[in-house]
Structure 1
């Protein structure tokens, strides 16, 4: 067993990604062929279920793009289900401290290293017990990315980085800017300073920094600063803005102004 995404960030190779929120295996497969290194299947803000995440994992599987799955919460039961359907890399939202980071790691490991329930006979991940020695190999293939999105999490970042099994730390600019009092404005200088400082801390600890930023100039800056997994767009936004631009070229009235935000 191997995890190409985990191998890439461990080797320090920057990975460019795209956020998937359309909850469709058809659009997921279309985007899997677009050339991104990784695709984030969002179970936190997009209306996904275990079943819709499964179909997207199946759709992406034949392509080089690597799937990353975000559960709705740092919940060991939900994480267990996502791992059983074949997710290997998880982006765990709203991790505030080292204890929560430790829980996320334990949820991805079989005992005695963790608390993942053993149900490999029912699991796509083990190919229904057709993968030889799956129970002894699975732990090493897991990749845990924890998401820091508040001032509290930033203050606790050194302790989070000390947690064994945390492979990367993803900075959530939308929630972070809101928590810092600059809702809808992740480009505020104070927010940017906090993000840049965090990227430096994460790299210094030997972990992989990540972020979502659709602003091309900022995304490239984060890469220059050492970010190793950067999502540069969202499928829903690409579809909405592309459709609006096409309609406008043929005289359609401009729709209501949206938030410039992160996405």
Structure 2
């Protein structure tokens, strides 16, 4: 990805749909390959995946080399890693389990420089990857770093309108698996259920009305297509571990 390429923030705010791959294996080369395969973004998962600070440092650069935007999902409540991910060159962060307006404010605080947030200065790697001077990076950073709050619980749904009013929160990202678990009090995992999909559509509508970006994790192609029709513009479709397994099985099946 060249320094002159549109940022992820610019593409999403222009109402362009960006499809992200999901990376759980701490193998930076996979991020490059996913970009070369045509994904618009690669999300490096530190919450449920094997990624750590070392692997996201290399994975961010690898994704950019492959032509994709780099996104990071930190562990729950790890707001320090939000700032570090942006310092390392991530263009967006998806913070899991944001359930209150206080959580949303903490996310913004770690994502944005003053006066919007309280992010500390240190994006030397990010500026280098983007081919910018420190002054150039600072001039655009608050506009070009995307802070997504994951909506995964009834509490988050109850606080949604308050969170959407938070200055500096760029978007919300539906986690349909956890949403189905929490709504059913642990009785079912049903991310594609009519109930979850209806809620997702409502969240997308409210987010867009508030001028925010709507994102979602999708488990299959039909859900991804439906999400686009609902108004989601940042859509996850494809976990690299599953794609590798499917490709290996298909290759072996050719010998049958």
Alignment of 1:133-152 (within 5 A): 133=135, 134-152=137-155
Alignment of 1:117-136 (within 5 A): 117-120=120-123, 123-127=124-128, 131-133=133-135, 134-136=137-139
Partner of 1:223: 228
Structure 1: which 5+ runs fail to align? Answer: 252-263
Q: 1:234 aligned to 2:234?
A: no
Measure, in 1, the Cα distance between the counterparts of 2:49 and 2:225: 26
Q: Highest Rg: 1 or 2?
A: 1
How far, CA to CA, are the matches of 1:50 and 1:92 in structure 2?
15
Structure 2 spans left out of the alignment, 5+ residues: none
Deviations 1:177-201 (A, max 9, x none): 1111153211222222222221221
Runs of 4+ in structure 1 deviating by more than 6 angstroms, as ranges, are: none
Output the TM-score relative to the length of structure 2: 0.89
8 Å CA contact retained: 2:176, 2:191: yes
* Corresponding residue of 1:191: 196
- Paired residue total: 249
**Per-residue Cα deviation, 1:35-55 (whole angstroms, up to 9, x for no partner):** 111111111111111110011
Contact 1:212–1:233, Cα closer than 8 Å, also in 2: no
RMSD: 2.2
Matched, 1:34 2:37: yes
CA deviations on 1:140-176 (whole Å, 9 max, x unpaired) are 3211111110111111111111111111110001100
Question: What's the secondary structure of 2:114's corresponding residue?
Answer: coil
CA distance in 2, matches of 1:85, 1:244: 35
Counterpart contact for 1:84–1:124, Cα < 8 Å: yes
TM-score (ref. length: structure 1): 0.87
Going from structure 1 to structure 2, the CA distance change for 1:112 and 1:198 (only over 3 Å counts) comes to closer
